[in-house]
Structures are given as C-alpha cells and as structure tokens.
Amino acid sequence: MRNPTTLIFGGLTAVILLFSSMFIVNESQTAIVLNLGKVVRSDLKPGLHFKVPFIEQVRKFDRRLLTLDDNPERYLTVEKKDVEVDFFVKWRIKDVTAYYRATSGGNEEAAAQRLTPIIKNTLRNDINSFTLQNLVSGERTQLAQRLLKPINLGAATLGIEVVDIRIKRINFPKDAKIRDQVLDRMRSERKQVANALRAEGFAESERIRAEAERESQVILADAQREAQKVRGEGDAEVARISAAAYGQDADFYAFYRSLEAYKASFADGKSTMVVDPDSEFLKYFGGGKR
C-alpha cells in the first residue's frame, strides 16, 4: 500500500505541472513561446495554450494599435527654408517574431527608438520636395498618405506595421522675415482671388443690367404698339359712330359739330374773335335764322 504522503506529494506535483503548462492569451494580446531562448512558436491567438513546464517560456505582447508621439522636428523645404513639423504615428505588431528579435526582446521603448528614425528620415526626404507654400496650404494630407508605403518598408524589419501617420501642425519658422514673406505671398494670392471674383461679379452685374434694359425696351415697344393699335381702333370706332350719326340726321350732326367748335374756341374764356356776322361759323347764332 502506498504511503499517503507520497500520494499527496504526487498529486500536488501533478497539479503544479498542469498549471505550469497552461497559459492564457487575452483578446488584446499575441504571444510567442521560447525554448531555451529560441522562438519555437509565435503569433499565438487569444485563448488557452500549453507549454512544456520549466523549459519553455511565454512572452506576451500588446497587439492593439500603439501611438508614437515624438517631439517636433525641423526640416528643410525645396527652397531650403526651415519648417517645424509635429506628427504622431499609429502602429502595431505585425510579425511578433521579428519584433521580438529586433527590439531587445520586445521592448516597446526600444521599438519606438528604432521606428522614430525611419519615420523622420522618410518625412525629411518627402518634405524636401515640397515648397513652403504647398506645405502650409493644405497638402499635408497627401504628404501623410505618401509616407505610409516607404515607412512600412523600413518598419517591416522591426516586425512593425505603421497604420497611420498624421501631421498635427506645421509651425512657421521663428525667423520673422521668412514668416512675413509667407504671409505676404498668401495675402497676395487672396487679393488676386478677390479681384477675380470682383471682376466676375461686375461682369455679371453688367450682363444682368443689359438684359433688364433690353427687356424693358421690348416691353415698352410692345406697350406702345398695343397703345397705337387700341388708339387706332378707338379712332376708327369714333369715325364709324360719327359717320353713322351724320347719316341719320345731317343737320343735327352739323349743329353738334358747330357747338364743339364753339366750345373749343372759347374754352379759356379769354379769347376774342373778329368775324363777319354772315360767316358760316356763326350761322347758328342767328336766332334760328340760317
């Protein structure tokens, strides 16, 4: 019969060996297994895994996006003018084995120290092809997108993938003369745009004014033509009515026309006329004698 102490010791040893052989990789992690310092398994997925107790070791690394935010760096543009560029980078581990070997056992600070020169050198080469005006006028987004491919070529040796690079700000040089030159150039460009817009607005206002005048002339001409037509129709109607009235009673019509003539002649009340009493004009002033 076995000694109970031996059984208990054996059971404890088995439990210790079991727990020593298990390890868990979290959702935000990746891991490698080392055997006497040599990588035997890598890129372990989240979940429960096993290893040889006391012989194999496990190293876990954060596989989430990490941020590299270094101090602003001064660069030269194509005109040999200084600019101060402040940027940050989002990166993650892509090849955990290469990352472990290239960064002193997976040290994040060592990874940042080796990644920073790659980014700055790539940024320097690209900024050297930009003018100061283009660099500060909104082309920084295009610049950042262009940088990803060459940066990742260098970062691949570290087992790192750069996901995004953003330029936070580009500061003007402290040299006031250069700053004034940039501001004067920008002011001149804005003035040219304003003058062009003003000229377009003046041309458009002249076009609208000319169109309005043309339309007013057309409307007036149409109105005058319509007035002439109505006036002509009215005169024709008057002539028709007068002719009809004359045809019905010629004596009364002659008398009526004479009254109209008298009225027109003495309308102002001051007119003086010297005529022959036997004149045809005064034939209806003869007390009924004709």
Backbone angles phi, psi at 268, to 5 degrees: -85, -10
Q: Where are the domains of the chain?
A: 4-62, 66-174, 176-248
What is 66-174's CATH superfamily? Band 7 domain (3.30.479.30)
What are the CA-CA distances from residue 258 to residues 47, 116, 239, 281 (Å)?
A: 126, 117, 17, 8
Residue 103 · residue 111 · CB < 8 Å:
yes
Q: Where are the alpha helices (DSSP H) in 128-175?
A: 132-136, 140-155
Q: In 3-state terms, what secondary structure has residue 82? A: strand
Beta-sheet strands, E only, within 63-201: 66-68, 73-76, 82-93, 160-171
Helix (H) / strand (E) element for 29: namely strand 29-35
Report the DSSP pairing between strands 29-35 and 73-76.
unpaired
Residue 77 DSSP symbol: -
Q: What is the pLDDT along the chain (290 residues), one digit of tens a residue?
A: 456 666 665 666 666 766 677 888 888 888 888 888 788 888 888 888 888 887 888 888 888 899 888 888 888 878 777 788 888 899 999 998 899 888 888 888 889 899 999 988 888 888 887 777 777 666 666 777 788 888 999 899 999 999 988 888 877 666 546 566 667 777 888 888 888 888 888 888 888 988 888 888 889 888 888 888 888 888 888 777 777 766 676 666 666 777 677 677 666 666 666 666 666 666 665 544 44
Residue 166 · residue 88 · CB < 8 Å:
yes
pLDDT at 202: 86
**CA geometry: angle 161, 163, 165, nearest 5 deg:** 115
d(CA 34, CA 55): 8
- Can you tell me which residue has the tokens 């082309």? 139
Residue 59 · residue 34 · CB < 8 Å:
yes
Whole-prediction pTM value?
Answer: 0.52
